[in-house]
Structure 1
Amino acid sequence: MLLRHSKEFNKISLSDQTELLESNLMTITLLSIFEAYNSSTHTVLWKLTEQDFNFLAKEGIKVPHGRVVFSLSDALNKVDTDLTDDLTKLFNFFDYFSQIGLPRPSLYLLLLVVVFNQDCVDVKNKEDVESTRKYFLFSLFESLVASEGVLGACSIAARLHTALNDLNRIAHILGQKFIDVEES
């Protein structure tokens, strides 16, 4: 939804859009889930879509207020054991990320920065993609300066750099586990 309204994203070629999304979608998804993370209770409050709500109702599962709250232990009880370590890393990342001090409104700018990350991508128009990424990076920094001051913004930016590298590794591992490989 966010990208549909981004004129910067729509300006780049369809093939570059596809490349960026294929490479960065898991990281973007995990950052989006972070928005629903409550660091004081170490839980994710997931707002259900109408389709999710109807499915759960058919299964006889009551969901008050159309929301599901789950913790790491709840999630570990529902997934295959080969995802245990990865989910633990993800919840540990959420705990760490919540301590960085990134204001929630700045998360949307960070999502756009991540969308235009071309580290592992073969885009045709590298200059435009990098220019757009820099635009969102500067916007994010300006937002942080306005809310946290220059020193606070620099401190958050340094921690964000490390955190995003960690999140990219987690996303890459999770992405590999969710990709079906067909044998010939």
Structure 2
Amino acid sequence: LYMTIFNRSNDLHWGLYAVNLPTFSILQEYLAARLQVQLGTQTHISNSLHIYTGDHPGAKITKRMFNHMAAPLPVLPESGPLFPSGLPSHDYFVASCNDVLEQRPYGGDSLEEEGVAFLEFASDFLRCYRDWKSGIGSSPWDCRHADLYMDWIWAAEEFWHTVVKHSVAKETSRDQPAPQTS
């Protein structure tokens, strides 16, 4: 299953890499598993791609990307499919996704449904993200099935330590009272 995504406008750091690639990858893998076909390539096309320079916080990411363009890509461990055991029914899967998004506990030792590993991981992963953003020390490596989704965890750590750190600092500075003038 090949997938091509067209965007009128996109953001290199906080759109394409932080949101679009993981989201459309999940969708592509879900559809491939549902259709029982092999996974093909994924292509993203943006008519306007926002790339940050100058004093913008994203400029550091842009500079780091340009500095490493000629370097070979790191070798990542082989990752398996998101849904290695197949999928539950569509209705069950959608209801389970909603449970995860609504922060209801998901999974457990007695759960034997097909395709549940990804949802258990996603449930723990979202909790971990919310904890991390709230300043609670939580590690994505403690998520159930972390060994199956190491590439997700590495991407999350990069995202959390650059984007989220900046946005939390920005939100905190907005909460500070304006300086008093005499």
Q: TM-score, normalised by structure 1?
A: 0.30
The structure in which a higher percent of residues are helix is: 1
By relative contact order (CA 8 Å, sep 6+), the higher-ranking structure is: 1
| Bigger Rg, which one | 2
Q: TM-score, normalised by structure 2?
A: 0.30
